[in-house]
Amino acid sequence: MPTEPAKSVGIDLGTTFSAIAYVDGVGTPRAIPTSDGAYVTPSAVYIKPDRSIVVGEAALEALRERPDRVAVNFKRDMGEKFYSEPVGGREFSPEALSALVLKKLAQDAVEALGDIGGAVITVPAYFGDARRKATQDAGRIAGLNVIDIINEPTAAALANAFHTFLAQGGEQSDLSIARIAARAPSTTLVYDLGGGTFDVTVIRIDHNDFEVIATGGEVRLGGIDFDKRVVDYFCDEFRRRFGIDPRDTPESMERIRNTCELAKISLSENPQTVLICEHLGRKMQVPITRGRFEQLTADLIARTQISTEMLLEDAMLTWDRIDNILLVGGSSRMPRVARMLAEISGKEPEMAIAPDQIVAHGAALHAAICDFDRTETPQATGKEKRLDFDSAATDAEADKEQQKMQAIMAPTKATAAHAIKLSDVNSHGLGVIVRSAIDRKTVNSVIIPKNTPLPTSRVKLFGTEAKNQRQVRLRITEGDTRDPRGCTQIGECMIRHLPKGLPKGAPVEVSFRYDSSGRIHVKAVELTSRISADVQIERESGFKKIDLDRMTDAVSELDVK
């Protein structure tokens, strides 16, 4: 065998913690430890006064001393221009901050594996296109070769299916991964309560096919919200006793927050614990029981319950059609989560093996499949490349038949090797802003509803608004409400130079095509004159290419510790 190619890695870029994993020589996904031996890295970035950069545990520690120089939870701002607060007096984009975390993870991976190949990064299924693109950009800025962006729940389901496959006596080295999921078709609900986001997804697994049926959740609900409740509880007690509110002093807050988070984690194992914190020289002990904690956070659990029930209602599913419930994310360790799900579903939820690493495991498996795809079909890929890039240089006459054969054969081989199909749905509706014929209000008319399997195309007919209208302007939106305020405009398509004298209500056909690479093609045709306009919307990058390159260079020169 020739020298082993560089291994590709899978990265779970989380709100509070990130993890990186690879598939080892015998085919098991493994998380890669950081330099201090932990398997997860806090998604925190400390920009030191000397402008060197520290990522991870040490950055979290620095949060106590220099809260103004440490950025955390920036995943929540992904897709926006800047991170919520300036760091060290400067504004940073969430992409740049994420890139620094990715760079640290990649460094740890290089340390452990030698060179790394491509990287698969996961995002919440709930992320819209802008934020997926931003994540991809973060990978590029970090100097990674991003081979794919996949959904966290899909990754978790994939890894879980693989672990089940092993538990049932499957061969670890069997990288013809087709067999991983070769069991009876099943429908899994993945409940992923992470540090900053909550995702709930229904995935149908049928042999090699991982199909996302529906996805929902909350972008701004996670473990940190549970921490906040404990923090408030402590601070209220402190104020009652000493008449001072620690929340007025940011410097003390980091330590209190940290203590409260540890207490929360401890309450998942123990029925009670004690919060011991100090503020302005006054030390206070506040005992807290699991019951009290669950009371303080009952509404947060209720929110995840509402989202879960809404998802089933939307997908027109009932609990009897769900075979498994898979718990993912560190926060789903809270016993109340499994209890709530058991109560509403009548089923026993299954805790993922290493719930905070499983997403990275799945991403690594997906990356391995991509690698496997490349290495197992060298002939086919070689020929494909030649067809694509070198066809002018080949001995055309002699090779023509051969080429034709290869062109026909290659896709079949590729499909066979691409053992697992990950089908997706769009997480947000796509539509256009129109004036409703029914009530004359400006409304968003959804053309591709959310949770439609991709690729897809849909057509809808509209009419012009006025007599003798000469142009039609279509504002293309992402969002699911009829109310345009619930949507974001993602593009525009304009039909110009319509002939004079068109009646009011002249038919305008609008077609949307959403391909599997995430590109949206919009075409509008005025049907009587056949005059049309079209536009292609790519997952828009927040950066120009040149800025991206500049940032990539800047980050590559940075020393990240």
Considering only 443, 448, 476, 495, the residue that binds another protein (CB under 8 A) is: 443
Q: Does 482 bind another protein (CB under 8 A)?
A: yes
Query: Least distance to another protein from the beta carbon of 424, Å?
Result: 20
Per-residue tokens: 435: 């004036």
Q: Are 55 and 101 in contact (CB under 8 A)?
A: yes
For helices 378-389 and 358-376, the axis angle rounded to 10 degrees is: 70
Least spacing, CB of residue 481 vs another protein, in Å: 4
Which residue number, 408 or 438, has a Cβ lying nearer to another protein?
Answer: 438
Tell me which of 58, 274, 276, 310 binds another protein, using CB under 8 A: 310
276 in contact with another protein (CB under 8 A): no
* 298 interacts with another protein by CB under 8 A: yes
218 belongs to the binding site for another protein (CB under 8 A): yes
Residue 310 beta carbon to another protein: minimum distance, rounded to whole angstroms: 6
Q: State in angstroms the smallest separation of the CB of 302 from another protein.
A: 4
Write the CA distances from 309 to 201, 210, 215, 312, integer angstroms: 11, 22, 12, 5
Contact between residue 34 and residue 56 where contact means Cβ atoms under 8 Å apart: yes
Q: H-helix or E-strand containing 474?
A: strand 472-478
Residue 196 interacts with another protein (CB under 8 A): yes or no: no
Considering the complex, state which of residue 312 and residue 555 has its C-beta at the smaller distance from another protein.
Answer: 312
> Counting contacts by CB under 8 A, is residue 306 touching another protein?
yes
Q: Which of residues 66-85 bind another protein (CB under 8 A)?
A: 80, 84
> Are residues 220 and 193 in contact, defined by beta-carbon separation less than 8 angstroms?
no
Instruction: Return phi, psi of residue 557, to 5°.
Output: -85, -20
Identify the bridge partners of residue 214 per DSSP, sorted by sequence position: 202
**Shortest CB 335 distance to another protein, Å:** 17
Give the integer Cα–Cα distance in Å for 266 and 274.
10
CB-CB contact of 499 with 457 (8 Å): no
Taking CB under 8 A as the rule, does residue 14 contact another protein? Answer: no
Q: Which stretch binds another protein (CB under 8 A): 42-50, 152-160, 279-287, 473-481?
A: 473-481
440 contributes a contact to another protein by CB under 8 A: no
Q: How many residues bind another protein (CB under 8 A)?
A: 38
Query: Toward another protein, which CB reaches closer, 192 or 371?
Result: 192
Nearer to another protein, 12 or 218 (CB): 218
Q: CA 36 to CA 137: how far, in whole Å?
A: 28
Is residue 280 close enough to count as binding another protein by CB under 8 A? no
Q: Is 291 in the site for another protein (CB under 8 A)?
A: no
452 contacts another protein (rule: CB under 8 A): no
Chain Cα centroid distance, residue 248: 35
Using DSSP's 3-state secondary structure scheme, residue 289 falls into strand
323 is an interface residue for another protein by CB under 8 A: no
Q: Interface with another protein includes 219 (CB under 8 A)?
A: yes
d(CA 126, CA 358): 18
- Identify whether the C-beta of residue 259 lies closer than 8 Å to the C-beta of residue 277: yes
Q: Smallest distance from the beta carbon of 426 to another protein, in angstroms? A: 15
**4-12, 292-300, 368-376, 389-397 -> range binding another protein (CB under 8 A):** 292-300
Residue 342 sits in the site that holds another protein (CB under 8 A): no
- Our CB check for another protein shows the closer of 57 and 465 to be 465
Instruction: Tell me which stretch binds another protein (CB under 8 A): 161-169, 296-304, 325-333, 515-523.
Output: 296-304
φ, ψ dihedrals at 121, nearest 5° = -115, 140
> Which one, 283 or 485, has the nearer CB to another protein?
485
Among 28, 268, 381, 481, binds another protein (CB under 8 A): 481
Confirm if 230 and 260 have CB atoms less than 8 A apart.
yes
| Burial state string for 400-418 with b = 16 or more CB within 10 A and e = fewer than 16 | eeebeebeeebeebbeebb
User: Which residues on adjacent β-strands are paired with residue 515?
Assistant: none
Of 41 and 297, CB closest to another protein: 297
Q: Please, what sign has the CA dihedral across residues 548, 554, 556, 559?
A: negative
Distance of closest approach, residue 327 Cβ to another protein, in angstroms: 20
The residue (of 8 and 151) whose beta carbon lies closer to another protein is 151
Instruction: State the amino acid at position 215 in one-letter form.
Output: T
Rule CB under 8 A: choose which of 305, 394, 423, 552 binds another protein. 305
Backbone CA torsion sign across 363, 365, 371, 373: negative
Q: Which is nearer to another protein, 365 or 430 (CB)?
A: 430
Distance CA 427, CA 398 (A): 49
Residue 318 is a binding residue for another protein (CB under 8 A) = yes
Residue 488 to residues 161, 163, 250, 432, Cα–Cα distance (Å)? 36, 40, 35, 10
How far is it, in rounded angstroms, from Cα 97 to Cα 10? 19
Shortest spacing between CB 534 and another protein, in angstroms: 21
Give the nearer residue to another protein in terms of CB position, either 17 or 198: 198
Shortest spacing between CB 520 and another protein, in angstroms? 18
CA 384-389-393 angle, 5° bins: 105
Residues between 380 and 439 that touch another protein (CB under 8 A): 436, 438-439
Residue 455, preceding peptide bond in cis (omega within 30° of 0)? yes
DSSP code at position 546? H
Residues at the site binding another protein, with contacts judged by CB under 8 A: 80, 84, 128, 218-220, 298-300, 302-303, 305-307, 309-310, 313, 316, 318, 436, 438-439, 442-443, 445-446, 449, 460, 479-488
